[in-house]
Chains A and B, each alone.
Chain A
Amino acid sequence: MAKHDVVVSQGKRTLKKRMLARWQLYLLLLIPVAYILIFAYGPMAGLIIAFKKYNVRLGIFDSPWVGFDNFRKFFSSYKFPIIMKNTIVISLYSLVVTFPIPIIFALLLNCMNGRIYKKMIQTVTYIPYFISSVVMVGLIFQILDNRSGIYGAVYKMLTGTIGPNIFADGSLFKHIYVWSAVWQTTGYSAIIYIAALTNVDQSLHEAALIDGATRLQRVRYIDVPTILPTASIMLILAVGNIMNIGFEKVLLMQNNLNLNYSEIISTYVYKVGLASGLNDFSLSTAISMFNSVINFILLIVANWGSKKLSGSGIF
């Protein structure tokens, strides 16, 4: 007991000493910490303009308070239901399609024989991940062009006539958005599962073989349980990001014909705040804050759910 007290008091007395001993580390951290305070927490502090009527001449702190007026304005706007619907439809559709496909891809690839072919498939399917959103959207426009693209060529070959313009039909927007993402990210997203699958204990497979299990049964009872923890963590992250749709790509894919199907919260924030002549900083900050808060809540809920169900979470 006495000995323990001595240790504790020593620990307290030496905290200052221990910090002093590491002064060089604090010095090194000075710039990164200053950076994060200014460029990440600075804008967070700026969120107060969501509750003000921002005026350029008065600045952030002297602009008058308006309470929740900006939020009310957004919720009562005629665009609100359309934007919410688009955001939810596109993000859920995205999640339902782009979450399981890489898992299936990894499982199939793991079953396949032939090392070289396997390696080749992996290498080629990573490449689209490095295509920037600008080029990706340019590529989509070109490939699905009804005159000069693959779609146009195939349509003409089959019917002899020029096909209808895909981009003029707004209801197709979500399909183009989601399936082009499948094309672009499946290979990359599968890496993490492929890595998890290489850690499967091979003796499990041998034992299952002796018991007469088929390959499909081994996938079902050995491979799938192996990647389940990884998958649940990826799912939490995906759910926590559900409202952060690939904003750059959506913005580039928008045109006047599909706007009723393609306007989402983040593109609307950009337009209200920066792109239109209005430059209503307060309103757009309120909208983006609404989005961030929903996201944050979803993340907490998904994490809590995952901890309850599988015992693993990200925090």
Chain B
Amino acid sequence: MKFRNQTKSDKVFLTVVMIILTAFFIVVLYPCIFVLSASFSSGAAVQSGKVVLLPVDFSLEGYKTVFNTPSIWTGFANSLFYTVFGTLINVAMTMTAAYCLSRKDMPGHNGIMFLFTFTMFFNGGIITTYLLIQKLGMLNTRWALLIPGAITVYNLIVARTFIANSIPHELLEAATIDGCSDFGYFIKIVLPLSKAIIAVLVLFYGVKHWNSYFNAMIYIHDKDLYPLTLFLRDILMADQIDPSTVSDPEMQARLAEAAGVIKYALIVVSMVPVLIIYPFIQKYFVKGVMIGSIKG
């Protein structure tokens, strides 16, 4: 909407708004550009703080080292596994529960919903959960990262709200008259009409799996099962890549000097999957947050 006849005070106000937002925009964007530039600079330039905006002494040594580190590949493959299968379990469980709980004609749906909602506000904490996982024999297995957290109640509420509000009730009546069972209605009608919400769930759960590290840290001891985030933690928080894991001897010698640039390259590499998918799901993401804001 355009307004003519802006007063002087309005112009001042809008200019101030523009300045504040531009400043914030730069503050958010600048570190991203800095990391990208530093990752393409030489180790020496990064170490001595010469990189300010653009790459200095353009070089790929950071990336070469990262890709020559076998643990990075192990972590990448494991994270991909946890993300794909974990998200599959999440979405299947969440959609099933959301569909059933959206059916107001099912006696007891409010009681069962409360059973889920209550866990959002009160939980047993990490220690008793750990003891449970131990008791179930899931410690140090891939299951420990797939099964606990299979349903996030917040996402369940979002999905249930979507199904209840956006699939017309007449469809259920028509399907019932045609002899469709509750199970068939879920598979043939509800799921195909819920593509938008499934995309939202895939995004929320997928990012959660890709980014999680704490559960892996307490449940997994075997390095072959580590997700990428745990290797990242070891490298980013501790000071260097363990030289014994790098096969190339020449690389080993350069590691000390290149510590900084390796970290920047690693940050970029770990963000790549998310940044590739992000543009495609951005509109669903906003939609998901908005559905979630409807009181559940």
Interface residues of A (CB under 8 A from B): 15, 18-19, 22, 24-26, 28-29, 31-33, 35-47, 49, 60, 105, 108-109, 111-113, 120-121, 123-128, 130-135, 137-139, 141-143, 145, 147-150, 152-153, 156-157, 183, 186-188, 191-192, 195-196, 202, 205, 209, 214-216, 230, 233, 240, 247-248, 251-252, 269-270, 273-274, 281, 284-285, 288-289, 291-292, 295-296, 299, 314
**Among A32, A35, A299, which residue has its beta carbon within 8 angstroms of that of B121?**
A299
Q: Interface-forming stretch among B65-73, B101-109, B242-250? A: B101-109
Is B21 within 8 A of A112, CB to CB? Answer: yes
| Chain B interface, >50% SS class | helix
What are the residues of chain B within 8 A of A148 when measuring CB–CB? 38, 46-49, 51, 260
- Given the known A-B contacts A134-B236, A135-B270, A147-B47, are A24 and B181 also in contact in the complex, defined by CB atoms under 8 Å? yes
| CB pair A105 B24 closer than 8 Å | yes
Given contacts A47-B124, A132-B229, A148-B49, 17 further A-B contacts (CB under 8 A): A22-B103, A22-B107, A43-B124, A43-B125, A112-B17, A130-B278, A138-B237, A141-B236, A141-B237, A142-B38, A147-B48, A192-B293, A214-B13, A248-B214, A273-B126, A288-B125, A296-B121
Can you identify 21 A-B contacts, CB atoms within 8 angstroms? Answer: A19-B108, A22-B105, A29-B96, A29-B100, A43-B124, A43-B125, A44-B122, A46-B129, A46-B132, A124-B29, A131-B211, A134-B213, A134-B233, A135-B236, A157-B52, A192-B290, A214-B10, A216-B10, A274-B130, A288-B126, A289-B125
- B1-45 contacts to A (CB < 8 Å): 1, 3, 7, 9-10, 13-14, 17-18, 20-21, 24-25, 27-32, 34-35, 38
Q: Which residues of A contact B29 (CB under 8 A)?
A: 124
Taking the complex as formed, is B199 at the interface, i.e. its CB lies under 8 A from any CB of chain A? no
Q: Determine which of A24, A112, A133, A196 lies in contact with B18 in the assembled complex, contact meaning CB atoms within 8 Å.
A: A112
Interchain CB contact under 8 A, B28 and A134: no
Q: Is the CB of A127 within 8 A of B32?
A: yes
Check: B115 CB closer than 8 A to any chain A CB: yes
Measured in the bound complex, the distance between the Cα atoms of B129 and A49 in whole Å is: 12
Whether A296 and B25, one on each chain, are in contact in the complex, defined by CB atoms closer than 8 angstroms, is: no
Binding site for A on B (CB under 8 A): 1, 3, 7, 9-10, 13-14, 17-18, 20-21, 24-25, 27-32, 34-35, 38, 46-52, 93, 96-97, 99-101, 103, 105-108, 112, 115-116, 119, 121-132, 147-151, 181-183, 186, 207, 210-214, 218, 229, 232-233, 236-237, 260, 263-264, 266-267, 270-271, 274-275, 278, 282, 285-286, 289-290, 293, 295
CA distance A296 to B121 in the complex (A): 7
